[in-house]
A and B are shown apart, each in its own frame.
Chain A
């Protein structure tokens, strides 16, 4: 019998190769980064205030490292949350009933409004230590990353092909083993895509969460975000430039070192086995794969990991129950009762909390302000659509242009648009423009790219045969747009527009108020309301503002986007 060896053992003549050197460097660098970045966590808070952040660009590498660490820790927490919450929701029918709607609401709550509420809680957890403020910041980033990851994982778990589930049960994999060998791999490509989206989205909140001030307490954590905040306060345009550069470098680095390898690695988990698709590549992954040292180092962990999965599945019978049958009716009833009781309790508490000093007039005001923000969002999405749909179709139908533009659009979506706000504000101040109108575009600055790159994806997915058929029938001009291009990209456009609209609501909290040194601009809207109440430390009105904004977002999602999305899926999905 032949002995089977992995290529990395049998295929290399030399003990060490240059890939090993590179790999070791990569890993040592990572360790160094971790230790550097976490060195100051246990400092007392007072010390932090004694050494205030400075605008010296030499500090930026350290600041960038600490910011990145926060984002990575939040990402790790988000993964943990995803694996537990989404798994529970997917595997337990009773839990699913509560957890899925809960997730839907959490997705719609404006996270920026949250920061002020949670910061107090976390500061109380580790009083007087930097750690508390760090927790608060990490939590804010976490809340901007976790929901869509959990949702994607839940949906993947629900769609694991029946035959794979049956095969894993037939070979009696334990639940632990089938989770890691079947469920997670199947969900992996979608999950990684969502991790990238989350990472991009969370930049927005990094900038907002590192310089936290609630009422009289101001905590400034060393990081790119606080550096930026300071630069804005001191009206230092050079420093703003340095901060933007630092962000660019960090985004580029984690894209190359973290996500590209992940995407290339996860390519094997793609379930569709259609040929002809170019597999994504990554130089970092190549180095790690070709290195024998890494292989040696990782192997014992691999063996250990696999050992946790050995063993027998419990001999418990599990009948496949038809969904319509109301089994365990009594337990379900009790469960619903518990959930409703909890919900009622929460509602009562909430009402008591809010009604302490909130009047009906307050509620009316917030609703009206919400309407103002709604009008902004609608107009902006419409404007962005008018610009980016034709542009996206033009690019998407030209493969060369697609190759150039698509990555740029994705990068722009990742770039935290709030760092550009100061430039816009100085413009508005200089020309004495009306902030009610001219602050608005900032809301969509970062989110419009979702429309662009989704439309590009849709246009490039139009089958060549359909385009040939159209050309053959001499369909041109407006007819071509109306009958071919627009319907073909419609489902993609809807997906992009949903993301853009949700993001714009959230962005309104930072976009409707902006400052440049001593200049403070404010537009009338719900976002400005929440920001203003946060500055004042007025929790009751913050909660009211968040609740009203969530209400708007949920209602629009349910009554506008959802039907549109279903319609697009049903009518225009190709194939």
Chain B
């Protein structure tokens, strides 16, 4: 069965019940096959359900519907032969490097000499020689993640699941680990047959994967499958590599605009409605991006990948800022480019007070939640309203967590714009700032 799929996922859905009785869909209709010798990348932004998918594959969670089949067997519990590397390493701080690596083997019930032999072999392979008796807290982030890899590889899994394994590391360390991993993989030294890599770093996906599955947010769905046929070792400066990265950027920004709601009046891309989950982006960051865009060399418009590179911002950092600008009509996003609107230019040229005034106007005009809060406050005679009132309202449309996040975002924006005040002690909105 050398050519048969290691893993076969069919029509996988994951959803959670909402307070109002509806369903919050995290993943929808996911189809995925992993063949032997492949690295498949799951690329998407925070909240696209890719980590959830990884936990479904590993059997840590069960899906609402659909099937995960591993070597012909449905996955209903953590399966032997599927090991995971965690973003935060998930090392046991009270166990030494060696003990951490041995843990999975002990759970398998192997005899002790065998455990020792395999653990040392894995430590050797991953370049941890000499660190056997160290505790995780004595190691740097890179070394810790090496332990994470050794711990996963030592059980000789068929499939290795990697949940953003390099995102908690600094740029240089991450690159070293990636290269080392690809080298071992290319030379066939790893005891694994297939890899699934979750990432939000486009370049990382293009560098490592044979196939990239692009995920949308809310709900998480595969929107595009992109084969990567470049030969290893891949060169980031290779024009083909750059083209691929650019294409993925365009594909991801194209979906950045939520699909228009049925029945909604023809709205512009990126418009917010009351049930839009607002990103937590500070007004300072937005001002910073506007100023950068307005200044040379961009002069009002920039290529997003170039901008991200220049500002050392990953997709997950850059997109929410860009989208917030779009939501407030201070910028427009199209085909992987971002362009300041007239309002945006005006913002860039104004002083502090004018900026606030302009921001307030845009906020109340284009963010329905902010307008709603302001209206309620004006209608009430004492101009005070509890936060819980709006929370309950939002919770009909989204999860409690998302409602809290949206409220926090709108509070921050409202404060900057001086559109309304909020007192955290009493949990109330009011119109008046302390005088």
Contact = CB atoms under 8 A, between A and B. Distances in A.
B425 A571 contact: yes
Given A310-B109, A317-B62, A322-B17, A163 B103 contact: no
Contact of A167 (B84, B121, B136): B84
A465 interface: no
Contacts of A311: 107, 109
Interface in A180-196: 181-182, 185-186, 188
Interface size class of B (residues with CB under 8 A): 35 or more
B262 to A, nearest CB: 27
A164 to B, nearest CB: 6
A42 interface: no
A50 interface: no
Given A172-B78, A312-B109, A1 B117 contact: yes
B109 A273 contact: no
A259 interface: no
Given A1-B124, A269-B93, A312-B108, A171 B136 contact: no
A324 B78 contact: no
Nearest to B89: A163
User: Max chain B CB contacts within 10 Å: which of A1, A163, A182, A275?
Assistant: A163
A275 B139 CA distance: 11
A535 B95 CA distance: 54
A99 B318 CA distance: 48
16 contacts: A1-B117, A4-B98, A161-B90, A171-B83, A172-B104, A173-B107, A174-B107, A181-B92, A185-B92, A186-B94, A306-B106, A313-B77, A315-B76, A318-B77, A322-B16, A571-B425
Interface of A: 1-2, 4, 7, 161, 163-164, 166-174, 177, 181-182, 185-186, 188, 268-271, 273, 275, 303, 306, 309-313, 315-320, 322, 324-325, 571
Interface centre among B17, B60, B112 (most CB of A within 10 A): B60
Interface in B117-167: 117, 120-121, 124, 129, 132-133, 135-137, 151, 155
8 closest cross-chain pairs (CB), A and B = A273-B137, A171-B104, A163-B90, A319-B62, A317-B76, A167-B90, A185-B94, A310-B109
A424 B185 CA distance: 78
Contacts of B16: 322
B83 A170 contact: yes
Contact of B107 (A166, A312, A316, A317): A312
B226 to A, nearest CB: 28
Contacts of B62: 317, 319
Given A311-B109, A317-B62, A319-B62, A324 B19 contact: yes
B88 interface: yes
B55 A166 contact: yes
B58 interface: yes
B93 A166 contact: no
A317 B16 CA distance: 18
Nearest to B130: A2
Contact of A309 (B80, B84, B106, B151): B106
Contacts of B93: 268-271, 273
A317 B69 CA distance: 14
Nearest to A312: B109
B77 A164 contact: no
A1 B120 contact: yes
Contacts of B83: 170-171
A315 B75 CA distance: 10
Nearest to B64: A319
A467 B70 CA distance: 59
B61 interface: yes
A1 B135 CA distance: 22
Given A166-B90, A269-B93, A317-B59, A171 B155 contact: yes
A167 B155 contact: no
A184 B183 CA distance: 39
A187 to B, nearest CB: 11
Contacts of B116: 4
Which one of B84, B104, B106, B129 has the greatest number of beta carbons of chain A within 10 Å? B106
A360 B137 CA distance: 63
A185 B93 CA distance: 9
Interface in B367-381: none
Contacts of B108: 172, 312
A191 B419 CA distance: 49
B181 interface: no
Most buried by A among B83, B94, B121, B425: B94
B319 interface: no
B58 A170 contact: yes
B86 interface: yes
Contacts of A315: 76-77
Contact of A171 (B55, B94, B95, B103): B103
Nearest to B58: A170
B387 to A, nearest CB: 14
A2 B130 CA distance: 10
Nearest to B102: A306
A170 B60 contact: yes
A303 B121 CA distance: 22
Contacts of A324: 17, 19
A172 B80 contact: yes
Contacts of B425: 571
Of A1, A7, A170, most B-chain CB atoms within 10 Å: A170
A186 B121 CA distance: 28
B132 to A, nearest CB: 6
Contacts of A312: 107-109
A170 to B, nearest CB: 5
Nearest to B16: A322
Contacts of A317: 59, 62, 76-77
Contacts of B17: 322, 324-325
B90 A2 contact: no
B273 to A, nearest CB: 24
A410 B94 CA distance: 27
